[in-house]
Homo-oligomer: A and B are copies of this chain.
Amino acid sequence: MNAPLPVQLLPKIQQRETPPALIDSLMARFAERCSTALVVREQHGRDESSFTSPPPAAVVFAESTDDVAEIVRLASQHNVPVIPFGVGTSLEGHLLAVQGGISIDMSRMNRVLSINAEDLTVTVQPGVTRKQLNEEVKSTGLFFPIDPGADATIGGMSATRASGTNAVRYGTMRENVLALEVVTASGDVIRTGTRAKKSSAGYDLTRLMVGSEGTLGVITEITVKLYPLPEAISAAICSFPSIEAAVRTTIEIIQMGVPIARVELIDANSVRMVNAHSKLSLREEPMLLMEFHGSPTGVKEQAELVQELANGHGGNAFEWASTPEERTRLWAARHNAYFAAMQSRPGCRVISTDTCVPISRLADCLLDSITEADASGIPYFLVGHVGDGNFHFGYLIDPTQPKEREIAEALNHQLVSRALRLEGTCTGEHGVGLHKMDFLVTETGNGAVAMMRTIKRAIDPKNIMNPGKIFSL
């Protein structure tokens, strides 16, 4: 592994000119669906990250693949960047127009195109959100498990290789996208796969596009896997005397091969913030939130085994839920953690970390980072998809205090360096965006990043597809 590089908040911005002729062409073609109003541009020039950049020159609301292809063709003629925009929930600056250009708003491409319940697949437009998708397939007895927290679009989730709480059992977008339709940098439309469950037909363009953050093409259609709703679902929360005890329990659950559907850690800080926010009285101790899917007997078996493992580490105060309402109540702590944290320090911004390490290294990685965070004086909370070795510190910084951001970035830098030493990754699910470009080089080495750049240059020779993300170019 190379030596860690210094943190760099934003790469040098090289805004490219958007010629008035392009705006004129877009206006002529899309009329009121092309907006240059500052408020619209500003809304499309930011995401949930704490980065800022001048907004895009225009926003075009696409309603079809043909629209997207036409926008890309026009932008290509003028060498102007295009940036696909779903609902703006990305966390690492993916949506910022760092080199200027046109934002393509995909949110109106929000139709579920075909549900193939017999094959457990569904094909959707990119603007469909995960909650909408689950609503629309509900009557089939199937569901789409990937849950990154935010009600993100399936297009955005594909572009960032998202995952979340259910990934420990159902995998990430990497495992759950079967095929894509993509508009390429030349404005051509390609398909990257079929509805067959597996294939050895040539290069895996589907998975090359998944996680490419809009830099290789604009995703205009996605076929994903669905799963039968489990016959039985049971949820539990359990408090532990220490983070370490909770983590060691998780490690054993995974190593024993328990097919747990969710196993989430929240720290005592989070519980405290959630209690204040939601007027609850949860024990202010580290907590695991778990969910079991299967047959009634299977769920019972899993739950008993997990209870035994938890008891071995001092886990107690198990609380169980099996109806949807009770489950929602139990999970409130996890679901509200982010907003409860925001509320705990009014006006703050959250700097979120996203490391993921092999499960055996999880305790090492976490405990040292907690010591550092505690010593820093920056308020924080900690939540994690610990079954996958993935966790997030949320450092709550005062955006008016540059020093606080500096400290938070330094903490993140130490954490990422530690995760990489422990054979992990700088981003488990949020993506590289603008924030992790240097870490990516440290993680994969110059050779791999050089190959990524080579692919990008070959597929997008004018560098118009969301340029300046993942690596500088």
What residues of chain A have their CB less than 8 Å away from a CB belonging to chain B? 116, 118-121, 160-163, 167, 171-172, 174-175, 184, 188-205, 207-208, 210-212, 216, 227-228, 230, 251, 254-257, 259, 294-295, 297-298, 301, 354, 356-361, 388-390, 420, 423-432, 436, 439-440, 443-445, 447-449, 451-452, 454-455, 457-459, 470-471
Bound Cα distance A160, B203 (Å): 10
Q: A425, B196: Cβ atoms under 8 Å?
A: yes
The listed residue with most B CB atoms (<10 A of its CB), out of A175, A202, A427, is: A202
CB neighbours (8 Å) of A121 from chain B are 358
Bound Cα distance A170, B171 (Å): 12
Q: A447, B190: Cβ atoms under 8 Å?
A: yes
Q: A192, B457: Cβ atoms under 8 Å?
A: no
Q: A436, B195: Cβ atoms under 8 Å?
A: no
Q: B202, A432: Cβ atoms under 8 Å?
A: yes
Known: A167-B198, A171-B175, A202-B444. 15 other contacts (CB 8 A): A163-B198, A196-B356, A196-B389, A198-B429, A200-B425, A200-B428, A200-B429, A201-B440, A202-B449, A204-B210, A207-B208, A208-B455, A227-B257, A297-B298, A455-B455
Q: Which residue of B lies closest to A390 (CB)?
A: B198
Q: B211, A198: Cβ atoms under 8 Å?
A: no
The 6 sampled A-B contact pairs (Cβ below 8 Å) are A190-B451, A198-B356, A199-B425, A202-B470, A228-B256, A295-B301
Bound Cα distance A201, B416 (Å): 12
Q: Which residue of B lies closest to A471 (CB)?
A: B202
Q: B356, A199: Cβ atoms under 8 Å?
A: yes
Q: Which residue of B lies closest to A426 (CB)?
A: B201
Q: B454, A458: Cβ atoms under 8 Å?
A: yes
Q: Which residue of B lies closest to A121 (CB)?
A: B358
Bound Cα distance A129, B439 (Å): 35
CB neighbours (8 Å) of A459 from chain B are 451, 454-455
The listed residue with most B CB atoms (<10 A of its CB), out of A294, A439, A444, is: A444
Q: A161, B204: Cβ atoms under 8 Å?
A: yes
8 Å CB contact of A119 from B294, B360, B439: B360
Q: B201, A432: Cβ atoms under 8 Å?
A: yes
Q: B427, A199: Cβ atoms under 8 Å?
A: yes
Q: B198, A428: Cβ atoms under 8 Å?
A: yes
Q: A360, B116: Cβ atoms under 8 Å?
A: yes
8 Å CB contact of A194 from B354, B443, B457, B470: B443
Q: A470, B255: Cβ atoms under 8 Å?
A: no
The listed residue with most B CB atoms (<10 A of its CB), out of A425, A426, A451, is: A451
8 Å CB contact of A455 from B251, B388, B439, B458: B458
Q: A389, B197: Cβ atoms under 8 Å?
A: yes
Bound Cα distance A453, B16 (Å): 30
8 Å CB contact of A190 from B163, B184, B194, B445: B445
CB neighbours (8 Å) of A294 from chain B are 298
Asked whether A444 and B211 contact (CB < 8 A) given A203-B470, A427-B199, A452-B202, the answer is no
Q: B425, A192: Cβ atoms under 8 Å?
A: no
8 Å CB contact of A445 from B191, B358, B431: B191
The listed residue with most B CB atoms (<10 A of its CB), out of A230, A297, A359, A439, is: A359
Bound Cα distance A167, B197 (Å): 10
Bound Cα distance A470, B255 (Å): 39
Q: B200, A432: Cβ atoms under 8 Å?
A: yes
Bound Cα distance A459, B358 (Å): 30
Q: Sort A-B residue pairs by CB-CB distance and give the 4 closest, nearest first.
A: A458-B458, A228-B257, A118-B360, A190-B447
Q: B194, A425: Cβ atoms under 8 Å?
A: yes
Q: A116, B358: Cβ atoms under 8 Å?
A: yes
Bound Cα distance A436, B202 (Å): 10
Q: B301, A203: Cβ atoms under 8 Å?
A: no
Q: A202, B198: Cβ atoms under 8 Å?
A: no
Least CB distance from A86 to B in Å reads 16
CB neighbours (8 Å) of A432 from chain B are 200-202
